[in-house]
Amino acid sequence: MTDTVQTPDASASRAMEQKKILNRLKRAQGQLAAVIAAVEGGGSCTEVVTQLAAVSSALDRAGFSIVSSAMRQCISGDDGENTLTVDELEKLFLTLA
């Protein structure tokens, strides 16, 4: 295990990326609540499917952002204890496909 020192720019960049991911997940959470409300309220099939597509897209984008972030950390050597092999990263990426 090697200790890595994050520069202020790297820390700020990581915090900004985490904020973007959290925003995507919260958006998906809101869209999922809309799906649930539509199903409970007898919403139209079109409304439910449209909201489900939005939830799926938001979750996919969040997942890809998370895997992309992990890949950048591994490539830059700024991964601390969370070292992933190329095979592990590929497996994570493919679980989203």
Whether the predicted pLDDT of 31 surpasses 60: yes
Domains observed in the chain: 9-95 (1.20.58.1000)
What distance in Å separates the CA atoms of residue 80 and residue 11, rounded to the nearest whole number?
A: 13
Neighbours of 26 (CB within 10 A): 12
Q: Could you tell me the pLDDT band of residue 39, with boundaries at 50, 70 and 90? A: very high
Q: Could you tell me the pLDDT band of residue 86, with boundaries at 50, 70 and 90? A: confident
What distance in Å separates the CA atoms of residue 14 and residue 33, rounded to the nearest whole number?
A: 29
Against a cut of 0.75, is the pTM above it? no
- Tens digit of each residue's pLDDT (9 = 90 or more) over 3-29: 444 556 777 888 888 898 899 899 899
- Tens digit of each residue's pLDDT (9 = 90 or more) over 42-69: 999 998 999 899 899 889 888 888 888 8
